Chain A
Amino acid sequence: MGKPQRISLKEAAALINDGDLLTFSGFTIWRRPMALVYEMVRQQKKNLHLFEVNGGTHTEVLAGAGAIKIWESCWVGHELYGKLGEGVARAQVEGSMIVEDYSHAQVVARLIAGAYGLPFFPTALSMGTDILNPKFDMLGKAGMRDGSNPKIPLKKYDVIKDSLYDKGDILLMPAANPNWALIYASQVGDEGTVRVFSQCYVDSEAIKAADKVIVIAEEIVPDSYLRQEPEKNLAAGYAIDYVVELPWGAHPTGSQFFYDVDADFIREFYQASKSQDAYAKWADKWIFGVDSHEEYLEKLGINRLENLRANSVLGYSTSIKRGTR
């Protein structure tokens, strides 16, 4: 508890052990802690267990590197810039990754339970679907619901009859409490107060649910500035363990009011993600071919980054070409 510790990107990635259960900030291709994900690949993390409300480019970077053993989520892709999560799909079809599907609101329920210190959170959403088919409990099939891993619940879900208002059956979704929340945030105060701009996704729940939290901050600002408008803040400094200040740390995903999604970069990655060979070439260039985040930015070049820079009033870039007209 107390103030978070300022560390380097390499130190941050080194804290994560093979086999740890991770969750992330952001939403599909927005506000993902990409620089940290690249560094984890550089440090060759293995057997990671991901619990995430939805997947995105960061998931696919880890999947291509063969770093994921278990993926519990509901969706993976790159939105308009890559329609599938090719790495996860390939691993699921080959059987090299355990994929446990829930619905989006069900994974949110699991994170809410974890955030609020509850064993479960009820939901009536997505009942009557194959998500609940007992044959498709993949962690159960793998014999991993025997209680030996404290991060894996004894059941995929439970059902109870509402005994209070007699509304019928309702699902109970087990809490998720990851070892780590890996967060990218817009601003972090020098005492650790966290602020994100615009939609907050499930960033607050991810921070509260996790045992330990690393925040990649776009910028570190005086806490006194953030405390002038406390209603805009997401988390208190004592909830954060480590902070790394890293401008452009979410690239190629977008960060509202700082920079837009780098669509061309994600499209190129998506093409590479379709085969292991192409992924390896891509990773040689963008992950192993640079030793630091600064080298990565240098390789991207100032013109590319300036083009992505957000208009300070609108919150997104007005100079990128997005369509055909």
Chain B
Amino acid sequence: MYKIVNKSVERIDVYEKVTGKAKYGADLNCGSQLYAKTVYSRYPHAKILKIDTKEAEGLEGVIMVITAKDVPGNNIMFGKFPVLAQNEVKYIGDGVAVVAAESKEIAEKAAKLVRVEYEELPGVFDLEEAKVENSKRVHSEIENNFIEHSHHLLRSGDVEKGFKEAEVILERTYRTQFVDQAYIEPEAVIVLPDPYKIGVEIHGSIQNPYTIRENVATVLGLKINQVRVIQSTIGGSFGGKDESVMLMAARCAVIALKTGRPVKMVLTREESFLESSKRHPFQANYKIGAKKDGSIVAVENKVYVQGGAYNNKASFANWRASIHAAGPYTIPHIKTDIYGLYTHTIYGGAYRGFSAPQMVFATESLIDELAEELKMSPQEIRLKNCLKPGDEMGTGQILLPGKIPAPLEKMIREICRKTDFESKRKKYIQEREGFNPLKKGIGLSCTFRGAGLGGEGIDTASATVTIDIDGSILIQSGLVEMGQGMRTAHAQIVAEVLGVSLDRITFGNTDTAVTMDSGATVASRGILAGGNAMLIAATELLQRLHQQASIMLNCNIENLISENEFIFNKSKPDKKLTFEEVVKECLKGQGLSLSAQGWYNPGPEKLSPETGRGKAYPTYSYGTAVAELRVDVQTGKINVEKITAAYEIGKAINPQIAKSQFYGGILQGVGYAIMEEMRTKDGYLKTKNFDDFLIPSSADMPEMEVTIYESDDPVGPFGAKSVGELGIELIAPALANALYNATGKRIRELPLNLERVLLGKTLKK
């Protein structure tokens, strides 16, 4: 059995974090640094007539004010985000100028002295307006408001035929809201002019160093290798520290090169809310057909995704959505279309789960509605239709043990048994009519989630592992640690392969000058892709060590075993070499390299452009949850009492960290379900800080019980696959279903706030 993997060892970065020694982006300072502050747009959509920076420049301590015309290279970055808006502002978070000053206070003062003249223009503020043909356009260079490359489809079977066979057909629309990731640390960046060559070095709370490096290089008109990005310790990101940090890095880099001085920018919470990405709002229109016995024959959907003014994520998020839009069910006929749309509003990006929480809210509410229509229990209908071994998925992939597992049936049965789901559900229906306004409800949901990027992009990752003369081991991943525990899992993988203790291992923060471009740290790929890269690097080093040990022990290399800090011949286990001994001989005796780069490349996934079918993901993770709540039917107040959840993740590299990820995801899911909402009105952001953007407090935390299922899934290192995002997506539908169980009222729009629960409709402020 494993010595280190699959054990709940202590995190390798925990000491620095809990003792306050780890430096976060805002903690970093350089001598002679400038403080930069962005001047934001005053209108959601307007023409910029004139920017007068004279007064700001005249303030003592102000070194420079830049506008779009000061950008030396390309002002437009990936997703059409301008470093600074040039002729037109397209949303309320657009930057029009940046001031750089000797102090933060002066920068703040100067930002208010930049005079901008606007001509206000009408805008497109929601999905309904954006969809209309010949409506106003957000980007004049395209024909309508549909985001380029954001239409993704799946065609399986023949839905027309399917609906003809159906004995029951339901049509429903579900809607979700903008929400912020609400990480504890607002974005921070410090950019240093490279002291040795033309270029910049960027430090900060950066989730995706490589995309930022590439974008800043084009902004500066430099080669990629003239920009170096080093991540600081990150205080939470959940997908969010990407576009906003890219904008900050680009703005600061322009000033750093112009002034030759380091430039620091730290966002306030208000600025972070204004400028950072949000979870995309969805409008999901569904049609589902089933036989009277509950078997689903067809699903057709058209899903519209609000992208905001600029967007570089809808094309990816929508592809993921297209694969998952019919749920974890075996359905012969599927027709899915997902579209992204531009609006003059805050924009959608990545947030834990990406497009899954929206899709799973829709599909898992829908399946409960179908069960109700057919007078079946939510458990029964899921058991009947869920993906089972031997089944063909909508993508055409076949589920087989040892290949792609299909554990849902067992998981659903067990969670329902454990929570006493059926008898509680019946009891609560009877209690609906009772006198007590506090009603109880129980709800079920289940999901499947493609592991890693799959067909969304090439899922390559790198790892560098170096053993030094004292036997210490430095690991550095091209993927970032942002609190999820990835680097501990990586260290466990390396220690397991090399047969050494974890004490030997330390980590380097991701540095684009050290590790190969590993893409973005997204899609729960930290272990699947990043861990595989570590496994490859460590295996390569083990080979080199064993090569040397086989000479030292005079035995065949195949007979060698590394375990508990020793390397020995398994048929002569008495004579053991210490790990250090072999390392020393390799480095000093023979002059061998003990640094290896692991490169994981699963190869491109090929999908049919006409049908969207093919090997979408190498494998899938699964989950199921039961939510129990109490709702006051006279006020609409929901108290979430308990969430019981189960997740199949192949193998848990660190069961405790995996569970912590699920607890965190569940609680974020509760917030998403019942209280969180970034409100916009006519393009203005109404939710400015945490007094209005409510996230759950400890007093709102339900009891949580999480079970991890393991399987023989072969794809990831030691059979591990995805963990990080799976926790969040089951919660909103489980709660909406529980609310229905308690009240008999179906709410199809998130969040399930006081007004919606009481009145069954949305009140607009």
Whether A and B are associated in the same complex: the answer reads no
Which residues of B are in contact with A by a Cβ distance under 8 Å? Answer: none
